[in-house]
Structure 1
């Protein structure tokens, strides 16, 4: 297992574990925020957690961004909106779940996979609010995969978006 990859974006956000957020509509609440700030999943036995990374021997591309998440870590909503769906990450495997949130402000939808949800469909959430806890990927994958959550974004037409291009600058962590 390799160390997390720092997401190289400048940031004026404070160091620490509180996700950086941005208030687009100036209502005093975040509209976009990082689910957690421990870094991007680097290269491991199963590949890279980067958006667009090769999958299945190059037959497809990774449609999300994997963020390092220890089992049980609190996971925060990446966008403000309504929880539109909670479901199984893999058909027939209820152990690993996802939460989908749709934002009327940004017109984006976001899905966070491998999270034990604490919010149900219909719930209103604010970006940065805890929506669940990171699940154990060891339930599905043998050793060699860094535990993480997978974050996907889509626009109102369903076009896949790079989460690191949508979310605010990634907060720098202190080196203390």
Structure 2
């Protein structure tokens, strides 16, 4: 037989007083209920024609528990005391635009935080997409800190990765709140991510293999141990030589690389540029052919082990030593033309309104 659980303190002795008290209490509650009901009927009589009903103020905020409001005091407190009331809750108007709002506090892996905020179906993919913006401010995951907060406006699409419209990132590493917004400039084929200053979020490469693309989807410093830069761009985008060089290889390891080229620099640096997942290469391009800087080598594609149209651009030197294109090329940030800044500012205000105040735990 299992022994009884221990109790705190001595066991009280049974007394006849207990039942008597219970009966008395029930009778008292019944009488009080009748009195309360009569008072309620009296208070619900409509006011006279010259009287205005008093509606007590109700502060609805994130800390609202649903309790009934207290009646208004005949001697209201000074205005300064209102500052202690809960702040009004920002309405979730993002849903009305077809967007979802994720607000997270990072206390471990970024993907874990995204799964908690957006669910297991969207979270992992959303973490990858958001990382593409974070890497322009910090190294991921090395520079993420506990207590960093993220607010994201995103759109879910069938059989496609989430489309992020705005990111607000408060970093304990930099001590700043970083923001970026997706915006389509009139002169651009693709939307880009812009900073509040009107500059593009992403750095561009001088003598880039692509004149135009939608987004950089992978960098050497994004934690994926990727050896190159992936440019998201439609099939058929012209691919150009980043320097003067000679073709050393063509279409090797096709199963993984797809249509590919290796261009060796003819100058003193002797760098090698590797282009993977290209569209079908012209038969006229052969090993030993020479190309000047900016000359067209072929077009981007989606061949080999590729899950979406893009160009993989990789730089090496010596015995397969990988170089970071963003440390090898000169870089710059392109700014939005002044005439289009007012339109961007309107969009920023709209998206900031949908982001609202962060609800991530502090």
TM-score (norm: length of structure 2): 0.34
1:153 aligned residue (312, 315, 337):
315
Deviations 1:118-137 (A, max 9, x none): 32211101121110011135
Does the 8 Å contact 2:215/2:233 carry over to 1? no
Aligned residue pair count: 138
What is the 5 A alignment of 1:102-141? Answer: 102-105=264-267, 106-116=269-279, 117-118=281-282, 119-136=285-302, 140-141=305-306
Q: Is the 8 A contact 1:41 1:148 kept in 2?
A: no
Query: Are 2:274 and 2:315, in contact at CA under 8 Å, matched by a contact in 1?
Result: yes
Q: How does 1:72-111 map to 2 (within 5 A)?
A: 72-88=236-252, 90-91=254-255, 96-105=258-267, 106-111=269-274
Match of 1:8 among 168, 191, 203: 203
Kindly indicate whether the alpha-carbon contact (under 8 Å) linking 2:213 and 2:232 is maintained by their aligned counterparts in 1: yes
TM-superposed deviation, 1:149: 0.3
Change (3 A) 1:141 1:162: closer
Within 5 Å, give how 1:17-56 maps onto structure 2: 20=206, 33-36=207-210, 37-38=212-213, 40-42=215-217, 49-55=218-224
Q: Secondary structure at the match of 2:318?
A: coil
In structure 2, the residue matched to 1:166 is: 328
Preserved CA contact (<8 Å) 2:228 2:324:
yes
Per the alignment, do residues 114 and 141 of structure 1 end up closer, same or farther by CA in structure 2, a change over 3 Å counting?
closer
Distance 2:292 2:219 in 1: 25
Structure (1 or 2) with the larger CA radius of gyration? 2
RMSD over aligned CA atoms reads 2.8
Larger helix proportion of the pair: 2
After TM superposition, give the deviation of residue 99 of structure 1 in Å: 0.8
Secondary structure at 2:288 match in 1: coil
Residue-by-residue CA offset, 1:51-104 (whole Å, 9 max, x unaligned): 24344xxxxx1000111221111111122110111114543x68x211100013
Could you list the runs of 5+ residues in structure 1 that have no partner in the other structure? 10-18, 21-32, 43-48, 56-60
TM-score normalized with structure 1 length? 0.65
Deviation at 1:140, TM superposition (A): 4.7
Distance 1:102 1:133, change over 3 A: same
Gaps of 5+ in 2: 1-160, 165-191, 194-200, 341-362
Quote how far apart the aligned CAs of 1:157 are.
3.4
Secondary structure of 2:209 counterpart: coil
